[in-house]
Structure 1
Amino acid sequence: MDRQALSAIAHHDHPIASPIFPENLDRLLRRAALPEEARILDLGCGEAEWSLRALELYPSAVADGVDISAEALESAGRAAGTRGLAHRLGLHLTPADRFAGGEPYDLVLCVGATHAFGGLAKTMEAVAGFVRPGGLALVGEAFWEHPPSAGLVQSIGDYQDLPATVETVEAHGWLTVYAHTSTLAEWDDYEWSWTGTLARWGAGRPGPDGDQAVAVAKEHRDLWLTGYRGLLGFVTLLVRRSG
């Protein structure tokens, strides 16, 4: 199985796909205070839970979700239909860095998907091309709470600390107007769900796919518990574009 399929399975019980509780996600979206008929873009949307919750909070808004996972977009489409939002959500199976958005957006989301643009700085440059002057972006990125070992950097990623992360996001015309830093409880809920859902799926399917799923779940869990638990943070920044 490819990584996209495994990720879709792992996120089935945690469609937010980030270490954040639903109430904190909603609080971030409410702080955006979007205008009537707002346009929302979700880059690397996964199952589009951020967009769906935004559409529920802003009944006149419309959204576009962009992702490379057909499995995740199929799940997003089903959820949109169940929640009566399908007519307000467009889903696009394409790499985020190749998406052409058309009219500017009032809010651009890129949460946990900065790798799609080659890192945080390049993500902010790309997002600037989608958002209207004075518009907003919600950008979620991991950061190191404490200096990591070289091995962890190699396994997890070369992230910055929190002050440097904010500085990178704010460069070139952005201003932070609110943020949420994920708690350890949010991280634990996310990781136990990710690893547990994948392991349970694999254990119920004898054969190569099931064995692979269990192995990936255990490998991920061990890296989390013995490596980055309490060391890797996650911040979601609400930033405003100058102009």
Structure 2
Amino acid sequence: MERSEISDIAHQRHPIAAPVAPEQLRELVGWLSPSDGARAVDLGCGEGEWLQELLLTNPGITGVGIDQMVPTSAARRADERKLSDRVRWIETDAATWNDGVFDVVLCVGASHAFGRLEDMLGAVRRHLRPGGQALIGDSIWEGVPSASALAALEVSADAYPDLAGLVRAIHEHGFEPSYGHVSTLAEWDDYQFSWTGSLVDWAVREAWTTEDRDQAFAAARENRDAWLSGARRELGFATFVLHDAAVGVRD
């Protein structure tokens, strides 16, 4: 099984694809205020749930979702919500894609597509029109990471900033955060157990071959073990609504 296929299955019951509850997603998106006719882009859109919530909240705007592979479930949900005529899905590398500037830029849980947090923030800056808004989300350390957390996640201590470090990076790229949210342990547990549970259910109920079943089981166990043996209570996630602070004040 391809990694993208495993991810698609794992997010079937949690299309937000981040440790954020549905009501908190709506709260975050509600802080964005695009005008009618505005255009939005979601860099690394995954299941497309963030972009679709923005379109549902703002019926006068259109959007583009960018990802290496956009699951068919994203287009299906857009069709069910009668959003198909207002959204385009483009399968390409979000790090190299370039098609002008947008009024709203979303990038939640996709910094890995750009390499580093700084690269992701740079891409958001490039795609945002002067005076626009952005919504970004990324992993943070809740404190000084332990050796068990680093081993479980197979990363170094500088892989993620703490919350203050994330805000500093945001400022360094010319943004001012307004509303923010740090995911709770309950949100994390719901996300992680939904991720592994969806894979286990698929393996038991839908896998056509023993090889696919075993790969799904293995991916679920690997993720669950990393979470329970070190990452839980240490790996965090923060989401911020950003304003372009690099523009002048109104007359």
What TM-score do you get using the length of structure 2 for normalisation?
A: 0.92
- The 1-side partners of 2:236 and 2:154 are apart by 12
Residue 236 of structure 1 pairs with residue 234 of structure 2: no
Match of 2:211 among 180, 195, 208: 208
Match of 1:69 in 2: 69
- The 1-side partners of 2:149 and 2:169 are apart by 22
Match of 2:135 among 131, 135, 138: 138
The count of residues paired between Structure 1 and Structure 2 equals: 240
Residue 51 of structure 1 pairs with residue 44 of structure 2: no
**Alpha-carbon shift at residue 156 of structure 1 (Å):** 4.9
Match of 2:126 among 125, 129, 143: 129
**1:173–1:141 distance in 2 versus 1, CA, 3 Å:** same
Q: Is the 8 A contact 1:203 1:214 kept in 2?
A: no
**Alpha-carbon shift at residue 123 of structure 1 (Å):** 1.0
**Alpha-carbon shift at residue 4 of structure 1 (Å):** 0.6
**Alpha-carbon shift at residue 118 of structure 1 (Å):** 1.1
Residue deviations 1:55-110 (CA, integer Å, cap 9, x gap): 1000011000000124x2x22111111110000001000010121222x2111011
Match of 1:225 in 2: 228
- The 1-side partners of 2:189 and 2:51 are apart by 24
Q: Is the 8 A contact 1:107 1:136 kept in 2?
A: yes
Root-mean-square deviation over aligned CA pairs: 1.3
Residue 107 of structure 1 pairs with residue 104 of structure 2: yes
Q: Is the 8 A contact 1:146 1:161 kept in 2?
A: yes
The equivalences for 1:7-46 within 5 A come to 7-46=7-46
* Bigger shift: residues 31-40 or 216-225: 31-40
Match of 1:185 in 2: 186
Q: Is the 8 A contact 1:176 1:240 kept in 2?
A: yes
- The 2-side partners of 1:83 and 1:20 are apart by 21
- The 1-side partners of 2:216 and 2:202 are apart by 7
Query: For residue 21 of structure 1, what is the amino acid of its counterpart?
Result: A
Secondary structure at the counterpart of residue 189 of structure 2? helix
Q: Is the 8 A contact 1:6 1:213 kept in 2?
A: yes
**Alpha-carbon shift at residue 202 of structure 1 (Å):** 1.1
Q: Is the 8 A contact 1:120 1:169 kept in 2?
A: no
Residue 81 of structure 1 pairs with residue 79 of structure 2: yes
Match of 2:146 in 1: 149
The equivalences for 1:188-199 within 5 A come to 188-199=189-200
Q: Is the 8 A contact 2:140 2:160 kept in 1?
A: yes
Match of 1:97 in 2: 95
Match of 2:113 among 98, 101, 116: 116
- The 2-side partners of 1:134 and 1:189 are apart by 36
Match of 1:172 in 2: 173
**Alpha-carbon shift at residue 172 of structure 1 (Å):** 2.8
- The 1-side partners of 2:98 and 2:138 are apart by 23
**Alpha-carbon shift at residue 149 of structure 1 (Å):** 2.9
